[in-house]
Structure 1
Amino acid sequence: MLVKIAITPKELQDVYHIRNEVFIEEQNVPPERELDEFDKTATHFIAYNEETPIAAARLRFTEDGYGKLERICVLKSQRGKAIGKKVILKMEEEITNQDFHKAKLNAQTHAQHFYQKLGYKVTSGEFMDAGIPHVTMIKHL
């Protein structure tokens, strides 16, 4: 399995395909909420099993000094294989490569324990985003 920064038009197309399948089709997130103005400037990540795209995510750097992990998703058929962990580790590597030392994400509450196992701590109460309960989590890198 390969996790990389999506650069080519094909890799970016694969990112959006994965996000569409997971967020819009599976989780019923409205398309206008899933795709936003940050997609043009974010760093996108794609994971492949051989040539098949299986996971995607995006990373933004915020003014308050965080690398913000967003839109992290793994195809349903590929979950439970540590793919999400590998995507997160690659994103954290890029955060430190850019001389940032803090990571932040808004986790769907059903995935909160997954992120806690990777060292993230909850820093907010529960809130709704696109009709799905979330919490904010941070990690010092």
Structure 2
Amino acid sequence: MNRIHVRVADWQKDNAEIRRIRESVFIAEQAVPPELEWDAEDATAVHFLAYEGDFPIGTARLLPDGQIGRVSVLRDWRGLKVGDALLQAVIGEAEKRGLRQQMLSAQVQATAFYERHGFSIVSEEFLEAGIPHVDMVRGAA
């Protein structure tokens, strides 16, 4: 395991890397239709890239309303705290921007991960792109 670091990404400049990671995780692995993966909110979101050394291995985004999404880590780097580093960076940036509450829709199998970071389930289970999800919230309303 090399050094993991996370930085705020530029949607225009880092687009190919962000797309490579999300296409691998969501479209190839989880069979999310491309038309559901890519949306107009990417243009206004704050994007993040996680690196091992200088190789991008994970990504996430933060919307202006505090919604966190598209948290994804390439298969070979899962279980190595990359997701923790990504989520901590996103939460830190949200708080820096005055977004005291963060929300996300979590795949049901990932809820324990988000709960470790202070998120609580606030909805019943629902399907999104055919995958069971729940809504989760962290912080003050």
Shorter-chain TM-score tier: over 0.9
Please give the secondary structure, in 1, of the residue aligned with 2:14: helix
Letter in 2 for 1:43: V
CA contact (8 A) 2:122 2:135 kept: yes
Scaled by the length of structure 1, the TM-score of the pair is 0.93
CA contact (8 A) 1:12 1:44 kept: no
Please give the secondary structure, in 2, of the residue aligned with 1:70: strand
Letter in 2 for 1:71: R
For residues 102-141 of structure 1, the aligned pairs below 5 Å read 102-140=101-139
Gaps of 5+ in 2: none
Between the two proteins, the alignment pairs up a number of residues equal to: 137
Gaps of 5+ in 1: none
Structure 1 stretches of 4+ with a deviation exceeding 3 A read none
CA RMSD, aligned part only? 1.2
Letter in 1 for 2:93: E
Give the whole-Å Cα distance in 2 for the aligned partners of 1:18 and 1:60: 19
CA contact (8 A) 2:11 2:47 kept: no
Deviation string, structure 1 residues 100-132 (Cα, Å, up to 9, x no partner): 101110000000111111111000000000000
Moved more, 7-16 or 19-28: 7-16
Scaled by the length of structure 2, the TM-score of the pair is 0.93
